[in-house]
Structure 1
């Protein structure tokens, strides 16, 4: 059986004629010519293989097939209008799913506040991934990718800076109670180090500020981890000292699970950026989540 392809403008013309009983009035309502409406109905009848109207000099009436088709056509057009109105509303109000990819170490910074996001935007559904690899926002379908440090040179992305960071050394109170005091950077070589391996495969050295100068320290690690949250967890349970972003560590400091070590040697950390696939206009749902992230990091 040959497939009956139909054109929505042709269906709209048919419905217009059926509702007004006139090719002329239908053409006026559709802002086109009577000839165009007539051709549209003829194309539709040809595709369907049946007559939809009985035409006389005085009236245009639906055939039995036309009455059957009108019910389905009206339902289809009503559904399309409803969908168009829903999409228009989504442009103005935060409605729908937002796919967000953040570094794993940011988990404690964001997860406890998701209820606040839900309260602000109850019609937004969040799909959250936490990973330290450099995700492909376009190829993987992410609406927002949050990353600290170097950014990909990608013309398909819009970049928004969310905040600056500082790098600080941290340890658990238990670890510090069990080990020798740390009074100068030289003391660090006598302590256990929890080291992060970045997505490039390289171990990340500690960056320290001494006498106004930055220097890198690569202490012998007691454990190497490639997951930012695992670095935090290992530090919290007392495996050693780690260097973390200040904003990421702050929730653990606030509850007494981490303590800053040698705060005088803090160094500037990398900025945190949001990567958003390019589009003609950012949807309201994405903008709402992006602004919420900026507020949290600020």
Structure 2
């Protein structure tokens, strides 16, 4: 059996006539002509294969089939109206799911504060990925992707700077207690280096401030990792010295799990940016999470 092809404007015209008992008043309420309303009802009756109204010169009354269809039509239109209102509310209030992809090393900086974000935005559901791979924000459907370092130009993405980052050397108190003292950059060659391999496959050198000049140091590593959180964890358990972003190291510094090594060689690092797919106006839910991220990293 063929499915009836219904038209929502025709259904709205039918409901308007049923509620007012008049084609003329329905047309006035709908901002159209009596002729258009009459044609809409005729089309609907033709598709349904039944008469919906009994028409006389003095009155318009629903048939039994019309009464049955009116109940379903009103329910459908009310559902669409409720959905439209809900979608409008989503534009103004943070409601719904936000998919966020951040570097793995940001885990300790961000995870302990999610309950605070939940208190601020109780109707936001966060889907969180923590990885150092270069995910495709548009293709994989992410709402926000956080990147550290240089960005390729992409017209499909809106870029917002979140913060500047400083590169510093860190080690655990235990490692420093059982190792030779570090009083100058030249002493680093005698220590165990923990090195990060970036998504490009290149080992990331250490960048040191040498009296105002930026100098690269590529120490011989005792451990190479390609996961930012693994680099932090390896440093915390005392495997050696690593160069970390100051933002991600701060929670471990505050708890005493890490100690900064040679603060005098701290150097400016890359900036952190948020990438948001371009297009329509940013939803309130995405803007809320983005602003929260910026506050955490500022």
Q: What is the TM-score with the length of structure 2 in the denominator?
A: 0.98
The equivalent residue for 2:130 is 130
Structure 1 residue 107 displacement after superposition? 0.5
The equivalent residue for 2:232 is 232
The equivalent residue for 1:215 is 215
The equivalent residue for 1:69 is 69
Question: Matches of 1:43 and 1:200 in 2, distance apart?
Answer: 62
Question: Matches of 1:178 and 1:46 in 2, distance apart?
Answer: 90
The equivalent residue for 2:90 is 90
Q: Within 5 Å, give how 1:1-298 maps onto structure 2.
A: 1-298=1-298
Question: Matches of 1:85 and 1:231 in 2, distance apart?
Answer: 48
Structure 1 residue 244 displacement after superposition? 0.5
SS of equivalent residue, structure 1 residue 194: strand
SS of equivalent residue, structure 2 residue 5: coil
SS of equivalent residue, structure 1 residue 101: strand
Gaps of 5+ in 2: none
Residue by residue over 1:182-202, the C-alpha shift from the partner in whole angstroms, topping out at 9 and shown as x without a partner, is: 111111111111111111111
Question: Matches of 1:274 and 1:72 in 2, distance apart?
Answer: 46
Structure 1 residue 224 displacement after superposition? 0.9
SS of equivalent residue, structure 1 residue 198: coil
Over 4 Å off, 4+ runs: none
Question: Matches of 2:51 and 2:189 in 1, distance apart?
Answer: 90
Question: Matches of 2:40 and 2:162 in 1, distance apart?
Answer: 53
Structure 1 residue 175 displacement after superposition? 0.7
- Aligned-residue Cα RMSD (Å) equals 1.0
Corresponding pairs, count: 298
SS of equivalent residue, structure 2 residue 224: strand
SS of equivalent residue, structure 1 residue 127: strand
Question: Matches of 1:151 and 1:141 in 2, distance apart?
Answer: 19
Question: Matches of 1:50 and 1:224 in 2, distance apart?
Answer: 76
Question: Matches of 1:135 and 1:88 in 2, distance apart?
Answer: 31
Question: Matches of 2:4 and 2:127 in 1, distance apart?
Answer: 39
Q: What is the TM-score with the length of structure 1 in the denominator?
A: 0.98
